[in-house]
Amino acid sequence: MSDYAAPHTLDITVRFAETDQMGVVHHASYIVWFEAGRVAWMGAAGLPYVQISNAGYNFAVTDVQCRYRAALRFGDPVQVITRLVSLRSRQVEFGYAVMNSASGVLCATGSSSHICVDRAGAMTRIPDWVAEGLTGKSER
């Protein structure tokens, strides 16, 4: 575990639209859940993503990984557990675990890496106030 803020758990119930013809959650849904988990993590850390975006910054995805371990189906209760893995001057990485909260089975793990960009889409340093909000401590 890193020195960063504690993991955050987002509860989701699998919607029918998230399943495929075989009746299991479509692989792309996990990536959407990762993003929902990241945004929820940031809100729980006191740094709503909308606040960052309104200030003219965004976190563009540079890499996303997902390892599928067990199937989820329509109606299953899911927990998306998100944690901050690393923070650099321009980059941030989050890690994810997706659990079936009824059975406790780990269904997927993954990560996403992001680079801070300004309104024009140019790479920029993560503002100090954002870095401090992400880590829960002053970087000075």
- Side chain identity, residue 62: T
| Catalytic residue of the set 11, 20, 63, 128 | 20
pTM as predicted: 0.92
Active site annotation includes 11: no
How far apart CA 38 and CA 75 sit, in angstroms, is 22
Q: Are strands 58-68 and 77-87 parallel, antiparallel or unpaired?
A: unpaired
Domains and CATH numbers, the chain: 8-135 (3.10.129.10)
Q: Quote the longest CA-to-CA distance of the chain.
A: 53
Each of the 140 residues of the chain gets a pLDDT tens digit; together they read 344 568 999 999 999 999 999 999 999 999 999 999 999 999 999 999 999 999 999 999 999 999 999 999 999 999 999 999 999 999 999 999 999 999 999 999 999 999 999 999 999 999 999 999 998 864 43
Which residues are CB-neighbours of 36 under 8 A, at least 6 positions away?
A: 10, 12, 80
